[in-house]
Each structure stands twice: as structure tokens, then as C-alpha cells.
Amino acid sequence: MKLNKCDYDAIIVGAGPNGLAAAILMQQQGLKVLIVEAKSTVGGGLRTAELTLPGFKHDICSAIHPLAFKSPFLKTLPLHNFGLKYVMPHIDAAHPFDDGTCAVLKRSVAETAALLGDDEQAYKALISSLVKSWPLIASDVLGPLKLPNHPFKMAEFGLVGLQSATMLINKFKTTHGQGLIAGMAAHAIQPLQNPATAAVALVLLLTGHTGGWAIPQGGSQSIADALAAYFCSLGGEIQINFYVSSLKQLPSANAVLFDVTPQQMLQIAGYRFSSLYKWQLEKYRYGDGVFKIDWALDAPIPFTASNCLSAGTIHLGGTAAEIIAAEQASAKGQHTDRPYVLLAQQSIFDESRAPQGKHTGWAYCHVPNGSTKNMTDIIESQVERFAPGFKERIIGRHTMNAVQMQDYNANYIGGDINGGRLDLTQLFTRPALRFSPYRTSAKGLYICSSSTPPGGGVHGMCGYYAAKRALRDVFNLRIQRV
């Protein structure tokens, strides 16, 4: 294929984890690649800042990174040579209940199951075989719909994963077993009655048992900085403070990959798209938003359940029934006084996050898309419910409602941090039903954001698969599967 003489072989618009991953894969092939980023730092959802008080480092968006740590593509990169170091919590995740007990996700399947009482065998039956299969099927689960490398093992995953989370929850009979599954599935940010929400729970459980829910030392920004440094070491270029509102702003290139959602794609390049593709992008559905809060604390969060004190992530929501009701309410456009709250306490394991003797807290709850409601008191009361005395330890806070989340990151439409609703109808066909979801209808233009498979999360796989598609289409380069 004869290529036009251009300023660059490829340009990546947006330096989130997917944009960085796409740029790296293309630069590794010897191409000349440019990343343009609207903000003054790279990262997208991977940014860390002193949001509350001096010396307290808070992850602005993503915080705990099981998918980054074991991403089929990111784990092939020498990011440790560029300053990235992970620390591991003693317990990956804990789910407390009102009686002072909690369910936990430990690295060991046996230890996790043993703490579920009468659901011990049910948990082992669910997860043991899949734990052995996960290294073989991870790249297929975290990718577009295609012929899998291991079809029978993928079928085993799919038989469970395509179910609704409520169906999976009902396979357990104890409060602890049901609550553990519900807390994991609620990461999907949608009603747990929806098909395929069980897959979200499975992926999170499997990453815990096959590697762990890693915490990047110094903050999530360190992942982005390492990716950017590695990219530049290969000869790549990055331009910051470069906000793209039109294709005409960009230098010439044979391929342009957009780490943005359909709404921005239409604004930037809509005039290049076919009427059918434009219609499909206009019909793309965004999901619920989040209300985010960060705390500076003068001591660790005083959870009643002792295992919570050693966990990197805490799922606050009580029983499975409560979590199901909370997620259903948000999807219906309602706010609840008892939301499901995702909380992280990175400073317990990473002393660089706060001044000596002090700590940080990170949390969010799900709210209707575009919500401006202040959920501070509601979230803090939910924490206090499982950690009496928590409020007395707050010495600073910073909040962002769903609209402010979008103001911070244009990809978070209405506060949706998943790049679009991740339900069954948009699981493999996001953002449009096409032979390849990464191709647009315009030659040389591709989308590589979390609005493509496999969706939200810091794993870089959307960028990897989009770049792989562009390399084949435009440059006639075929990349072996990771």
C-alpha cells in the first residue's frame, strides 16, 4: 500500500491510558507518532494532585489498578524502568456489614472461600476453574468479539459472565457471599439485573486471585508518566495543552486515532463520517455518573471490621439487596440516601501519599448522569455507618459532582467514567455495530477510547486493539496477539 507523505505516520488525540497504549504499539513498529493532549499533563483518568491540603496526594479519577497490573499489553512493557512501582494491599477488597463482620477478597481462593461460611463450596465451584483459565483467556475477555484463542475456556467464562449479577448472587445463600458478589458487580455502574453484569464481578475476582489489586506508588499519575516516558524513549513525541476541536488543527498523518468518546468524535470529525455512522454515534448511550470525594485524614479510617483495616479497597453498601436497590435507583434518575460507595485507602500501604502520621481517603458513589447533587453528607454517613468516628478524622476534603467530573475530563460525559454504558447491547459493539469497532467510516480515522471494547478501566487494551487495527489497515503490519 502506497502511503501519502505526511508530517507523521500516526497521530493520537488524547493521552489517557488507551491513547498512550495505542501510541506505544505504533511507535514500537518504527512509525513516527505524535500524541496531542488537551491538558498540561498526560494521563486522562490517571492523574494525581494535592486536592485537599499540602502533602496529601489524591488520585483524581482512578485509584486501584488490578487491570493495569496484569493487562495483557501493559505487562509486556518495561514500565518499571521508567519509575513505575506497585505496592500490594494485604487484602485486595473488603465488604463490611452492619454486624461488624466483612467478606474479603484475598489472593488465595481457599482463604476467601473459607470466610464465606456456608458459601465456601459455592465460591470454590464458581471461581477455581476460571482462575486456572484466566491467564489464557484474559486477552479475549478484554478485547473485541472475535474467535478466541481458547474457545472452550472462553465458553466456560461466558456461561457465567453473560448472566445478570442478580442470577449470580442467587447462587449464594449467605449475606457474606451475596454481598461480596454484589459489591464486585456494582463496578459495572448499571442495574445488577442487566445481562452480563456477572462478567464484571468475575473479572474483578479473577484479577484478585491471579495478581492482586495493585496500587501504583506515588499515585495513579505514575502509570501515565511511565507510559509517556517509555513512549518518548522510543522516539515518540507528545504535545500538551493542545485541545483538538477540528481535524484541521492537526498536522498531516496517514492515521489518526482518537482517545475520546463518540460525542467528541462527532464534534471533531463528524463531517468526514457517513450518515449511517454519524447516526450510530448519535445513538450511543452514556451511563450513570459519579460523585467523587477525597479526604485528608489525621488517622486511618476506623472500620469496625478488622479486615477492612488491611484492605486497599472497601465496598460500602451493606447487603446485596441494598446494593441492587441503590444501583437501580441511580439508573432511574434517582438519588439514594444509602448508595453503594467505592472507597480506597491507598496511604495505608503507600506512605508517600500523605504527611507522616496522616492519611488519605478516596471514594465515589453512583448518581444519575449529569447530576449536580452534593452527596458529601450521604457518602460520609455511609462510611460512618461502618467506621464510627470517621467524620472526626477529616481535616480536609475535595468534592466533584458528575458535571464537574466532565469539566475536568471531557471524556466523562455527564460524569460517566466508563466511556458509555457498558451493558450487553454496547459490550462488544461500542461505539457502533461494525466489522471492527475501532474503525470509523472515514479512511484513516480510528477510535481507541473506552467507548470501544473492552470498555472502561485502566488496561490500555482499547488502545492496543485500535492501534493493531490501524497498523493492519493503513501500514500493512500484522501484530501477533498478546
Contacts of 106 (CB under 8 A, 6+ apart): 91, 92, 112, 115, 208
In the predicted structure, residue 86 carries a pLDDT above the cut 80:
yes
- Predicted pLDDT at 67: 93
- Predicted pLDDT at 458: 95
- Residues 234-292 pLDDT 10s: 999 999 999 999 999 999 999 999 999 999 999 999 999 999 999 999 999 999 999 99
Element spanning 383, H or E: helix 376-386
- Predicted pLDDT at 427: 79
- Residues 455-472 pLDDT 10s: 999 999 999 999 999 999
What letter would DSSP give residue 88?
A: -
Q: What's the burial of 334, exposed, middle or buried (CB within 10 Å: 0-12/13-18/19+)?
A: exposed
- B/e letters for 260-280, b = 16+ CB within 10 Å, e = fewer, are bbbbbbbebbbebbeeebbeb
pLDDT tier, 3 (very low <50, low <70, confident <90, very high otherwise): confident
Mean pLDDT within 306-310: 97
Mean pLDDT within 401-430: 92
Cell of 118: 456456608
Cα–Cα distance for residue pair 303/326, rounded to 1 Å:
22
Would you mind telling me the total number of residues written for the chain in this entry? 482
Give the percent of the chain with pLDDT over 70.
100
Output the average pLDDT for the chain. Answer: 96
pTM: 0.95
Cell 442478580 belongs to residue = 166
- Predicted pLDDT at 4: 80
- Residues 58-75 pLDDT 10s: 999 999 999 999 899 999
pLDDT tier, 2 (very low <50, low <70, confident <90, very high otherwise): low
Cα–Cα distance for residue pair 266/270, rounded to 1 Å:
4
What letter would DSSP give residue 306?
A: G
- Predicted pLDDT at 1: 52
**175 Ramachandran zone, left/alpha/beta (phi>0; psi -120 to 50):** alpha
- Residues 433-449 pLDDT 10s: 888 999 999 999 999 99
- Predicted pLDDT at 316: 98
Cα–Cα distance for residue pair 156/140, rounded to 1 Å:
13
First to last CA, the chain: 26
In the predicted structure, residue 371 carries a pLDDT above the cut 90:
yes
Cα–Cα distance for residue pair 96/352, rounded to 1 Å:
27
Side-chain-facing half-sphere of 223: CA atoms under 13 Å: 36
Mean pLDDT within 328-352: 97
Listed in sequence order, the DSSP H helices in 262-312 are 262-269, 275-282
- Residues 91-134 pLDDT 10s: 999 999 999 999 999 999 999 999 999 999 999 999 999 999 99
pLDDT tier, 146 (very low <50, low <70, confident <90, very high otherwise): confident
Mean pLDDT within 324-338: 97
- Predicted pLDDT at 314: 98
